Chains A and B, each alone.
Chain A
Amino acid sequence: MNDDFELGGATLKNRLLLGTGKFSSHRLMEEAIRRSGVQLVTVALRRIDFDSREENVLQFVPPGCILMSNTSGARNAQEAVRIARIARAAGAGNWVKIEVIADHRYLLPDNYETIKATEILAGEGFVVLPYMNPDLMVARQLMAAGAAAVMPLGAPIGTNRGLQTKAMIQILIDEINVPIIVDAGIGRPSQAAEAMEMGAAAVLVNTAIATAGDPVAMAVAFASAVKAGRQAFLSGPAATKESAEASSPLTGFLR
């Protein structure tokens, strides 16, 4: 069965999206991308440090892999728009993940500023994927503003605590007509599978892979979990019940 993931005019086979921060080396990141078959990665924009040059990350992203710049560091819509435009000029292409964060303890996104930035950048031809705090009204406004997908957080960035916002994410999956991609908080492959079983279109993982003992093997594990979760969703999970129901036929011969 064809289960391609249509996103922003592209067709993806792999529903695991990878953030490229925190890897101990570019080589390791490249290997994780190749072995897991990831087809979309996020990158960030930084000032060049003239005192300590590092190799350009783009040399390590396999050809054909979609680049999506993020606006990390932006504290309001205006800064997010500025970062997105510069990233495009630096060769990141049209894809942007909007991330507007003014809170430093929990790194929670500013939904209002995120909507404003989405509207401006979608109007400029960007494929816009906003990172947001799961809220139905906000998701509807993001969709109306031209978002290609909506990316609710499962738990605060880097916490690896899983789907703490599960009930709210389920509402978005049920009500919103653009792909819902769970972004942030997913710490284990089982949590990624859980999100996919719920009907999420994809998951975006970074910390849980990049800081694992063996990041390459963990990337492969996540890719398998995402695939399994997706397959389970498409198969229609069986209903849960309060009391037991035997799954072996009772033939009655012991009576």
Chain B
Amino acid sequence: MKVVLNGKEEDFSQPLTICELLAAKNLEPDRIAVELNMEIVAKAAWTEVALQDEDKVEILSLVGGGRGNE
């Protein structure tokens, strides 16, 4: 299964949920947001929503920033 994760194509040998993807990427589920095909997925649904082939996933977090696109 191929998924585009943060703009990069990645291959997964078996289907996985968003929760499993975060675990595979070693990410704490705290203070991050997940977008699946341009739609925000609520945290409560992360254990249920399974990724499909060709899905586009964005995982984002907050960083230091004032203004401009530094």
Contacts and interface: CB of A to CB of B under 8 A. Distances in A.
Contacts of A158: 68
Contacts of A86: 33, 35, 40, 58, 60
Interface string B20-55: 000001010011111100101011000000000000
Nearest to B25: A50
B6 A57 contact: no
A175 B67 CA distance: 26
A22 B66 contact: yes
B67 A99 contact: yes
A37 interface: no
B68 A72 contact: yes
Interface residues of A, number: 47
B63 A57 contact: yes
Nearest to A85: B40
Nearest to A107: B68
Interface in A1-54: 18-23, 26, 29, 42-50, 54
A87 interface: yes
Contact of A48 (B6, B30, B42, B70): B6
Interface of B: 6-7, 25, 27, 30-35, 38, 40, 42-43, 58-70
Interface of A: 18-23, 26, 29, 42-50, 54, 56-58, 67, 69-70, 72-73, 82, 85-87, 89-92, 97, 99, 101, 107, 131, 157-158, 183-184, 204, 206-207, 210
Give the top 10 A-B pairs by smallest Cβ distance, nearest first: A19-B66, A44-B65, A206-B66, A90-B33, A89-B33, A20-B64, A21-B66, A21-B65, A157-B68, A91-B31
